[in-house]
Chain A
Amino acid sequence: MSRPTVDEDRETTRETVPATPTEQESPVARPPRRRTGAARAAGPALRTAHVLLLPTVLVGVYWAFTAQPGAGFYTPTPDAIAVAFAELWFSERFFVDVLPSLGRLLVGFAVAALIGIALGTLLGLDARVRATVEPVLEFLRAIPPPVLVPLMIMLAGIDDGMKIMVIVFGCVWPILLNTVEGVRAVDPVLADTARCYGVTGTTRLRVLVLRSASPQIMAGLRLSLALAIILMVISEMFASSSGLGFAIVQFQRTFAIPEMWAGMVLLGIMGFALSSLFELVEGRVLGWYRGSRAAHRGE
C-alpha cells in the first residue's frame, strides 16, 4: 500500500533518548509549553497585524488591477464583491445554501473519521486482515471520488445521502491509511511496558494504541478536512437544488458574477475557519507530541 507521506519525522518520535547523553539532573523542569520566538515577542495586536498584512496587500493589488477601466466583466472590484457577499449571505440564503452544505460536510467528515479510525486500527493491529483487505482498498482508493456522483445519484438519489456518501468515500482514505501507519508504529518498548503492567484490551487501545497513533491520525484528519470541502462543492454541482456548489454554478450560469465571487470568498473563509478550528483541537490533542519534539530538538 503506498503511504501518504504525512509523518515526516517518525524516527525522531521514536528514539526518545535525551538530546545530550551527558545531560545532568536539572533541579528545574522545563516549562510545559514552548512558543516560537516570533510568537513570544509579538503581542496579540501585533500578531493580528502580522497575519493581515499579506491579505491586505493582495486585495489591494487585485483592487488596483480591477479598478482600471476595461478590466473586465468577470473580475469585479472587491467592493462590488463585498456588497454581493453581504446581500447574499446575510440573508435567508445562509440557511438555504450555507448551513446545509456545512452540515453535509461535517457529517461526511465525521463518518469518514469514524470509519477510517476504526478500520485503520483493525488493519494496523492485525497483519493477516491487512494482507487480505489491502488489494481491495488499493483499488477503491484509486477511484477518484467525483466519478462516484453519477452512480450515487442512481443508488441514493440526489439528496443529502448521496452528497454525504461522496464526501465519506473521498475522505476516508487519508484517515484510514494514516491510522494504519500510526497503529503499526507503536513503539515496541512501550508496547512491552504496557504488557508487563497488565495494560490490555480496550485500555490498551485507548491509552496506548490510539494515543500513540494520534499524530498520524490527526495528520490524516487534516488532509481529509481539506478534501471534504472540495467534495462537498463538487457533489453539489451535479443535480442539486441547494448548497454552495449549486449556488456558485447557478450564479455563473446567470452571469451574476459578483455573486459567484462572493460564493468563492465564502468557501475560502469557511475553509480557513474550519482549519483554524482543527488546529485548535489538534493543539489540545497533540500538546504532548509537540512538547516532546521540542524537547528533543533541545529548545
Chain B
Amino acid sequence: MLKVTGLQKIYNGGSTAVEAVRDLTFELAEGELVCLVGPSGCGKTTLLKCIAGLMTPTGGTVELAGEPVLSPPPGMAVVFQEYGRSLFPWMSVRANVELPLKEKKLPRARREELVTESLEAVGLTAFSDSYPWQLSGGMQQRVAIARAIAYEPQVLLMDEPFAAVDAQTRADLEDLVREIWQRLGVTVLFVTHDIDEAVYLGERVLVLSNSPTVVQDDVTVDLPAERDQLGTRQDERFTRLRARVYAQIQQAKKGTAPAPA
C-alpha cells in the first residue's frame, strides 16, 4: 500500500549540507498499523513530510498504491502534532471537518453523513458548532482525527499526534486510534518518540537510527488485537518488546546499530 524506497533527504544550507535521512526503505501492507519510533532529531518529521508529499526527497521514492507520491496525494490524510495550528480557528468544528470533503466535491448529503459519523466516532457530536479554540487540547486533536477519517483516506499519517496532550487524554486517544483502525481498516503510519506508545499501538514497530537515518530494526508486535491500557501494558510480551525497542533506541543514540535480535 505504502512503499518507501531508498529515501534520502539532504538539507543544503550554503556550503554545509546536512543529511537528515540517508537511506530508508520499508513497506506498509494494506490495513496495517505501523509505528515509527526513533531518537529525537532522527528525521521523523522530515520522513513524514516526504511521505505526505509536502517535501521533495533528495533521493529515493515514495509510492502510494503503486503511484509515486510527488505532491500530497488524494488518498492520504495527515494528523499533525500541533493540533492547535492545524485546525482553522475561524471555522466551526463541523466546517473544519467538512472543508476537505467540499474540496473532494462530494455531494452535500454525503458530506453531512461523513461529518456526523466521524464526529460521533471521536465523541464530539455535541461540539460540532463550537470553534476549535473553545475546546481543550485533547478535544482539538479529536477534531483533527475526525477530519482525517471523514476524508476516507487509504493511508492515515499521524505525526506525534499525542505529544502535546496530557497523559490521561493520551491514553484515551490511543485507544481511539486502535478502535478507528480496527473499524475502518485504514492503513496507519503512526510516528512517535514514545516507545510504550509505539508498542501499545502498533502491529509492527519500525525503529529508526540516529541521523543520518536508516531503519535500524523492524519489530513485529505479537500482542493480541484487543488491547487495554492496564492489561496489555502488564503483559509479559509487552515488556519484552518494550525492552527490545528501548535497547535499539539506546544503541541508535550512541550511533552504533547492533545486529537486529
User: Which residues from chain A sit less than 8 Å from chain B, CB to CB?
Assistant: 14-18, 21-26, 29-32, 187, 189-190, 192-193, 195-200, 203, 207-208, 211, 214, 288-289, 291-292, 295-296
Q: CA A21 – CA B103 in complex, angstroms?
A: 33
Chain B residue numbers with a CB within 8 Å of A16 are 82, 84-85, 89, 133
Taking the complex as formed, is B31 at the interface, i.e. its CB lies under 8 A from any CB of chain A?
no
B172 surroundings in chain A (CB, below 8 A): 25
- Check A26–B166 contact: CB distance below 8 A: no
Closest to A22 in B: B166
Do the beta carbons of A196 and B103 come within 8 Å of each other?
A: no
* Complex alpha-carbon distance, A200 and B212, angstroms: 33
A sample of 18 cross-chain residue pairs with beta-carbon separation below 8 angstroms, ordered by A number, consists of A16-B82, A17-B82, A21-B137, A21-B164, A22-B166, A25-B139, A25-B172, A32-B131, A189-B80, A190-B86, A192-B80, A193-B87, A195-B72, A214-B90, A288-B90, A291-B131, A291-B133, A292-B131
CB of A207 within 8 A of CB of B137, answer no
Closest to A199 in B: B103
Q: Which residues of B contact A211 (CB under 8 A)?
A: 88, 90
- What's the Cα separation between A21 and B127 when bound, in Å? 21
Is the CB–CB distance between B82 and A25 below 8 Å? no
Q: With a CB–CB cut-off of 8 A, which chain A residues contact B78? A: 192-193, 196
Q: Which of B104-128 contact A (CB under 8 A)?
A: 104, 127
Please name the 5 residue pairs, one residue from A and one from B, whose CB atoms are nearest each other, closest first.
A16-B84, A197-B100, A292-B133, A189-B85, A288-B90
CA distance A210 to B54 in the complex (A): 22
A282–B90 alpha-carbon span in the complex (Å): 14
Residues of A within 8 A of B131 (CB): 32, 288, 291-292
Contacts of A203 in B (CB 8 A): 102-103
Contact between B130 and A15 (Cβ–Cβ < 8 Å)?
Answer: no
A291 adjacent to B136 (CB under 8 Å): no
CA distance A72 to B138 in the complex (A): 69
Check B85–A198 contact: CB distance below 8 A.
Answer: no
Chain A residue numbers with a CB within 8 Å of B147 are 197
CA distance A292 to B133 in the complex (A): 5
Complex Cα–Cα for A200 and B105 (A): 13
**How close is B170's CB to chain A, nearest CB, in angstroms?**
11
* B99 in contact with A197 (CB, 8 Å): yes
Of the listed residues B71, B86, B135, the one surrounded by the most CB atoms of chain A closer than 10 A to its CB is B86
Q: Which residues of B contact A198 (CB under 8 A)?
A: 72, 74, 100, 103-104
Contact B133 A24 (CB under 8 A): no
Other than the known A17-B84, A32-B134, what 12 A-B pairs have Cβ atoms closer than 8 Å? A14-B85, A21-B164, A21-B166, A23-B138, A189-B85, A192-B54, A196-B76, A196-B77, A196-B78, A197-B147, A198-B103, A207-B88
Residues of A within 8 A of B84 (CB): 15-18
Roughly how many angstroms separate A288 CA and B104 CA in the complex, as a whole number?
26
* B200: interface (CB < 8 Å): no
Closest residue to A192 on the B side, CB-wise? B54
Tell whether B168 is near chain A: CB-to-CB under 8 Å.
Answer: yes
Q: Which residues of A contact B151 (CB under 8 A)?
A: 197
Question: Does B52 lie at the interface of the complex (its beta carbon under 8 Å from any beta carbon of A)?
Answer: yes
Q: How far is the CB of A70 from chain B (nearest CB, A)?
A: 60
Q: Verify B99–A23 contact, CB threshold 8 A.
A: no
- In the complex, chain A residues whose CB is within 8 Å of the CB of B134: 29-32, 291, 295
- B40 at interface, CB cutoff 8 A: no
Asked whether B136 lies within 8 Å of A289 as measured between CB atoms, the reply is no
Contacts of B25 in A (CB 8 A): none
